[in-house]
């Protein structure tokens, strides 16, 4: 058996040991599910009226180690499903009863249980032979969280106990050390400290507000991307946040995406929806007038804000939100232009990631599978698109992996999978071909023979959503952003009140060069102002006293250095502008 499978069995067994420990300490609890996960295990438990906090984790952990020392065997027993239901009803375990009834509805007649002393759990297994095969120093209970039963926010809120579990103490210690560092880089923590974004319950869960520092960064990246897209021949549009019901019926969203859309709005007897995607309105813009093959490709970009329903339990800072803005674009091209357009999009993508200095990602080519009933469009077109994507990736000599069956129902796609500091992988950029909307909206162009032809449509969101991308960017840099998009590039620290006027004069001169600067004219000591500027991770810090106010020399402290260097104001501005231009 592979090592990874052995580790998964170990972690699954750890979850049972944890549940057995909880049962010994809290006999009246009700158990839900307890699987192994990538870094350990968890168990969802209903503690009823008993309040369990982080302080109780050590107590549960100690009891787990006692169970390990007892060398209790894991024993498997098969049971008829009807008998199992009656037994769980008698034991007052409603979550197990529900799981069993679902299995019975699917035609199951027998189920398996694993016994660990007095603890018995519905489980397919496999497990270790005995509890003492778990090393007592190879796991640690790490946190508590709320989790709705079956992910349904209308159901009971359970307590989820997370544990980290590894094959050795060394691997566990390395993981825990990594988590400490990861928590320092948590984008929610840094976002608060640096004034980047905020989420207010009065405004709504999953609806972040960009604060001045965060919005300054976002505008820099917006301007950067607008300029780059224009250099590649894109024009830009902006479509309404609400659209009529008929548009989403035409696009098919009301048929296949309804569960992710918000409830309709009725205005003057017409029904509207908050748009979950920018695509339908973009198709209408393309259709405004006939297109010739000579006009192709047509490339339209949009920084469009969309709204999608996410369960409250799945919301997470900027990583997963309900309202977000996409760096969207739709490219309409002929079949002959498909490879060149895909190559161009890939070129823009690589340049963007290089300029922001972000390299913790991998490429996933998401393909269709052999079940043609799952997809729309001509199979020949699918094969052409998939082969084109694969060819472009190979020509660019980048590593990628393919996953059959992960394509959208309307076309294959290339996903950029970023890995955050907690080891979680998520898509941030997507390039995909669409064989659905061109047919639904009857999109055409006139070819050189005067005949109507269907264009290929490429959707691409290079930044993806600004919100999710910023979550990764904040954690990747830990707030130490490159100069060119740092929210505050220079911090001026006045030694005393009499130096405020000179600081403000200097700030205006920097601002005239489009350099982002902030003045600290507070009554705090210089030492405290310096410590604050260091915590704010400002690239350049300048202390302004009598010496600086009476000369053209500046004393600059670079981020990450305790040393101060002397430079003229003119040379300092030249240095900064050069680094900003070169994206250094």
Of 5, 14, 284, the residue nearest 163 (C-alpha): 14
Helix H or strand E encompassing 385: helix 379-395
Contact 489, 466 (CB under 8 A): no
Active site residue 187: no
- Catalytic choice (308, 364, 468, 499): 308
Active site residue 55: no
- Catalytic choice (16, 364, 459, 491): 459
Of 390, 449, 396, 458, the residue nearest 430 (C-alpha): 458
β-bridge pairing 361-367 and 490-494: unpaired
Neighbours of 349 (CB within 10 A): 18
Active site residue 123: no
Which distant-in-sequence residues (6+ apart) come within 8 Å of 180 by Cβ? none
- Catalytic choice (123, 160, 185, 279): 279
Can you tell me the distance from the alpha carbon of 149 to that of 33, in angstroms, rounded to the nearest whole number? 9
- Catalytic choice (93, 326, 337, 341): 326
The two tokens of residue 229 are 């897209």
Neighbours of 48 (CB within 10 A): 10
What are the C-alpha distances in Å from 267 to residues 251, 375, 495? 21, 35, 59
Of 394, 260, 251, the residue nearest 330 (C-alpha): 251
Can you tell me the distance from the alpha carbon of 117 to that of 69, in angstroms, rounded to the nearest whole number? 13
- Catalytic choice (413, 460, 468, 557): 413
The two tokens of residue 177 are 């050390």
Can you tell me the distance from the alpha carbon of 369 to that of 280, in angstroms, rounded to the nearest whole number? 26
Active site residue 89: no
Contact 347, 393 (CB under 8 A): no
- Catalytic choice (30, 330, 529, 557): 330
The two tokens of residue 462 are 């290079």
Active site residue 56: no
Active site residue 498: no
Neighbours of 246 (CB within 10 A): 12
Can you tell me the distance from the alpha carbon of 266 to that of 264, in angstroms, rounded to the nearest whole number? 7
Active site residue 328: yes
The residues carrying an active-site annotation are 279, 308, 326, 328, 330, 413, 459
């Amino acid at each position: 058996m592979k090592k990874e499978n052995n580790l998964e069995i170990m972690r699954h067994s750890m979850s049972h040991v944890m549940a057995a420990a909880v049962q010994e300490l809290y006999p009246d609890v009700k158990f839900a599910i307890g699987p192994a996960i990538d870094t350990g295990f968890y168990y969802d438990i209903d503690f009823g009226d008993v309040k369990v906090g982080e302080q109780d984790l050590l107590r549960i952990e100690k009891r787990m180690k006692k169970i390990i020392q007892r060398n209790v065997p894991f024993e498997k027993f098969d049971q008829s499903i009807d008998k199992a239901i009656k037994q769980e009803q008698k034991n007052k375990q409603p979550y197990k009863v529900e799981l069993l009834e679902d299995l019975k509805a699917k035609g199951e007649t027998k189920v398996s249980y694993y016994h660990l002393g007095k603890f018995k759990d519905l489980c397919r297994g496999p497990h270790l032979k005995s509890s003492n095969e778990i090393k007592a120093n190879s796991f640690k209970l790490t946190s508590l969280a709320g989790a709705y039963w079956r992910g349904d926010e209308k159901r009971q809120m359970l307590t989820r106990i997370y544990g980290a579990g590894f094959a050795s103490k060394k691997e566990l210690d390395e993981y825990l050390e990594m988590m400490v560092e990861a928590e320092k880089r948590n984008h929610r923590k840094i976002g608060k400290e640096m004034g980047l974004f905020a989420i207010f319950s009065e405004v709504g869960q999953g609806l972040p507000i960009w604060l001045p520092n965060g919005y300054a960064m976002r505008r820099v990246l917006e301007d950067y991307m607008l300029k780059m897209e224009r250099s590649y021949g894109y024009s830009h549009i902006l479509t309404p946040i609400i659209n009529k019901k008929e548009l989403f019926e035409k696009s098919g969203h009301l048929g296949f995406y309804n569960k992710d859309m918000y409830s309709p709005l009725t205005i003057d007897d017409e029904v509207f929806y908050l748009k979950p995607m920018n695509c339908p309105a973009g198709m209408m813009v393309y259709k405004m007038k006939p297109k010739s093959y000579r006009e192709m490709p047509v490339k339209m970009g949009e920084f469009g804000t969309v709204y999608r329903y996410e369960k409250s339990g799945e919301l997470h800072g900027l990583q997963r939100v309900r309202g977000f803005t996409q760096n969207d674009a739709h490219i309409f091209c002929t079949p002959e232009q498909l490879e060149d357009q895909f190559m161009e999009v890939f070129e823009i993508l690589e340049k963007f990631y290089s300029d922001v200095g972000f390299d913790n990602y991998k490429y996933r080519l998401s393909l269709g599978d052999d079940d043609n009933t799952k997809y729309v469009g001509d199979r020949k077109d699918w094969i052409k698109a998939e082969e084109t994507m694969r060819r472009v990736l190979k020509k660019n000599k980048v590593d990628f992996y393919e996953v059959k069956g992960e394509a959208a129902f309307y076309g294959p796609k290339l996903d950029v999978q970023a890995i955050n500091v907690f080891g979680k992988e998520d898509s941030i950029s997507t390039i995909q071909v669409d064989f659905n909307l061109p047919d639904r909206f009857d999109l055409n162009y006139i070819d050189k023979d005067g005949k109507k032809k269907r264009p290929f449509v490429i959707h691409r969101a290079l930044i993806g959503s600004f919100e999710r991308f910023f979550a990764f960017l904040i954690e990747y840099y830990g707030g130490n952003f490159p100069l060119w998009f740092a929210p505050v590039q220079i911090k001026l620290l006045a030694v005393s009140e009499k130096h405020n006027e000179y600081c403000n004069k200097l700030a205006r001169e920097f601002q005239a060069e489009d350099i982002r600067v902030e003045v600290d004219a507070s009554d705090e000591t210089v030492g405290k102002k310096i410590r604050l500027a260091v915590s704010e991770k400002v690239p350049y810090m300048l202390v302004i006293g009598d010496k600086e106010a009476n000369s053209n020399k500046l004393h600059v402290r670079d981020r990450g250095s305790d040393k101060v260097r002397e430079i003229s104001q003119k040379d300092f501005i030249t240095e900064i502008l050069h680094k900003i231009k070169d994206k250094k």
